Structure formats: structure tokens, C-alpha cells
Homo-oligomer: A and B are copies of this chain.
């Protein structure tokens, strides 16, 4: 056994999350693509079968009440809440991340225009009327973001009469001005795995009188987010990466409690009505998190997610973060040992404070290299033009997996 293999076995033996691996369906493959699609939690197949056969097949329409279908979006939101540092009652599950980005950004722009500043400005008169807020007509968006956020931000800007200004996260502070209505940022960059400074950037956005919208797709379930603690205004995220909800499982929307009454959705579907079964002609928004709902929730995908979230019972996100950093540290150590000098270059920051739960390696012929890795039982993914992406899900990835992945990568590149 090599020195690194021995170290891996020691790290695995000391891993307090090691037993969680048994709660997932895994095989001999080293699966380092959980940042794209999380592995299947063992509780899911049985639950889905029950939802299909008993709840739908037998109870049918009665399940909207009796099986808790109607309240699933906010109930499951409350399961996600502790993982992202949110008190209950602020997260609702449903729709895709893209649709939730649209809701959040449009709502943020509307909040910025309707008197938040006016009410702070002693001379500004009543909230909702005039005031500085009216001049806030710019959305800042992370130029390095997963593209859908930029596309949707473009639409939100177009439809609210704002201009869209793409900036790198490093440029945000300088770009903020009295024109800024909202800022859309990714917590962890999907490509490089860089972790951005959520507390500091949120504070800067607030200092400028604007609203901060965070996309948590690549951080939720891998590291502490601290939404409430850091005063984030709105946030969105998917649930099929580190939350293991399944392919295309519904996304979520966080609206900070004290902003909920001012959350003015661009998608006011009947599920967000104060009295949805009143079938009233006039729209009156619900209170609280359900105001972020739109149409009928996709129950199969949603209840699969609910079962998937059961693995988090008793798991502390701080422990997950510690293991995540240990895994990525160890991977970099193994890569340095096994991969010939100069064949790969890490795009992921070495500093813990700037690292998510993935390692992105720039590599010549990355597409072919990833194919060969997969053929040899190590699954990561390839991002054009030249990036090998490896995601480390602390719930089911072990240190022996990490050592093997780096060893196979070394073999492929030798």
C-alpha cells in the first residue's frame, strides 16, 4: 500500500460521516460528479413507489390533503432551511432555479424601487412613493456565473426597465452605486469552484442600499451559508447537486422574513394566493414563504426530494464543511504526487476561505481525459474548453475514493 493509500485509510477510519455512505446507492465507481447530479439516497425508491402507487394510485385526489401534497413546498423548504442557515418559514420549494432567479431578481428590483431607501431617507416622505429608490435602475450580475443566471437577469432587467451590468465578483464593490437595485451573485462558481465572500459582499450591497440575491446551487449542502446570519435578502438554489434530490428536482427560493410582505412576485400563480381555493378573480398574495409559489407543485419530484433530505438528520453542516475541505486538500495532495508535473493546473483557490467543494483542473485535451477517467471508473465532468471538474460530496465520498481518483488521473496522464 502506498503512503497516500495508507493515509486515505487512516482518514476514512477517523471520518465521523463515513457511515452516511450506507444511506446512498453506490457501486465500485468513484463518483465525483455529485456537484452535477447527486447520488441516489437509499430512502428514495421506496418513497417514490409509495407516492406513485398508494398516494396517487389509491388515494388519488384525496392526497392533496391526506398525503400532505398541498403543503409540500413550504414543508420541504423548512427541511432545507437549516442547511443554509435559515430559520423556518422563509424557503419554498418549486420550479427550476432559472424561474426562481427571475422571481427573486424582479422582486428585488421592485423592493429597491418602492421605498426602502425612501423610508430611510428622512426627507423622502412616505415609503412606496418617491425617494431615492426610484432611481435605482441597474442590476449587477456575476459575469463569471453559470450562464442561466445572466440570461435570466437580462430578462429581469429588460422587463423592469433596468440595465444589466455584468461584473466579476471582485469588481462588485466598485460597481455598486446609488443606481444599483439588485446584485445577483453565485456563492460558489460552477466552473472554478471558487467560494465568494457572501458576508462581505452582502454587507457591501446593503451599504449601497441595494438588494443581494445569492445563487446557492454549488454551495448548499456542502458548506455553511448563513443566510439569516449575514442578512441575505433573497436566495435561490437547486436541490439535485449536494442535496441529492434527483434529476431536475425542484429548486427553492428564500425570502428573508422581514421582506416577505414586500415580495411582489412576477409569477403570481394561484398557489401563491392568500386563498387559493377561493378561486377569486382578484389576486391577493399569501403571507410568508408560500408567496413564492406559482403553479401546482410537481409532487413526484418534490416528494423524492423530501425523502432524499432525510439523510441530513443529525448531520451538522460544519462537520460536512470540515470533511469537504479535507477531501479537496487530500485530492490536491494526491494529484501533486501522482500527476506528472505541468499536466494539470488547479483553477480552484488553495485558500480554504475561497474554496467550495470541488476542484477544477485545467488540462490539455480535458474532454478526452475525462472520457478515459470514466472508462476507468472515475466519474467527474468536463467543462469546455479545458476543465476537468471533480465534485466532492462529503456525505458519500471517502478518502480512498479521492486517492484512487487521483491515481487513475495520474495513470491516464502518464
A60 lies within 8 A of chain B by Cβ? yes
Would you call A267 and B102 a contact (CB within 8 A)? yes
A45 lies within 8 A of chain B by Cβ? yes
In whole angstroms, how far apart are the Cα atoms of A31 and B250 in the complex? Answer: 30
A330 lies within 8 A of chain B by Cβ? no
Once A60-B39, A248-B302, A249-B298 are accepted as A-B contacts, the answer to whether A278 and B96 lie under 8 Å apart by CB is no
A166 lies within 8 A of chain B by Cβ? yes
> Which residues 78-122 of A sit at the B interface, judged by CB distance below 8 A?
95-99, 102, 106
Say which one of A130-138, A196-204, A289-297, A339-347 lies at the interface with B: A289-297
Report the minimal beta-carbon distance from A237 to chain B, rounded to whole angstroms.
12
In whole angstroms, how far apart are the Cα atoms of A266 and B102 in the complex? Answer: 9
Residues of B within 8 A of A271 (CB): 98, 148
A146 lies within 8 A of chain B by Cβ? yes
In whole angstroms, how far apart are the Cα atoms of A12 and B151 in the complex? Answer: 54
Residue from the set A40, A52, A97, A281 with the largest chain B CB neighbour count within 10 Å: A52
Would you call B269 and A151 a contact (CB within 8 A)? yes
Would you call B98 and A269 a contact (CB within 8 A)? yes
Would you call A166 and B281 a contact (CB within 8 A)? yes
Question: What residue of chain B has the Cβ atom nearest to residue A380's Cβ?
Answer: B61
Say which one of A152-160, A174-182, A206-214, A321-329 lies at the interface with B: A152-160
In whole angstroms, how far apart are the Cα atoms of A159 and B158 in the complex? Answer: 9
CB < 8 Å: which of B52, B248, B298, B379 contacts A296?
B248
Mask: chain A, 240-254; 1 = CB below 8 Å from B; 0 = not: 100000111111000
Report the minimal beta-carbon distance from A106 to chain B, rounded to whole angstroms.
8
Residues of B within 8 A of A45 (CB): 49, 52-53, 57
In whole angstroms, how far apart are the Cα atoms of A238 and B270 in the complex? Answer: 14
Would you call B246 and A52 a contact (CB within 8 A)? yes
In whole angstroms, how far apart are the Cα atoms of A381 and B191 in the complex? Answer: 50
Residues of B within 8 A of A155 (CB): 265-268
In whole angstroms, how far apart are the Cα atoms of A247 and B296 in the complex? Answer: 8
CB < 8 Å: which of B151, B249, B297 contacts A273?
B151
Question: What residue of chain B has the Cβ atom nearest to residue A67's Cβ?
Answer: B247
Closest 7 pairs (CB-CB, A-B): A96-B295, A98-B269, A98-B295, A247-B299, A40-B57, A148-B270, A248-B298
Q: Which residues of A contact B (CB under 8 A)?
A: 25, 27, 31, 33, 36-37, 39-40, 44-45, 48-49, 52-53, 55-58, 60-61, 63-64, 69, 95-99, 102, 106, 143, 146-148, 150-152, 154-155, 159-160, 166, 191, 238, 240, 246-251, 265-271, 273, 277-281, 283, 294-302, 304, 379, 381, 383-384
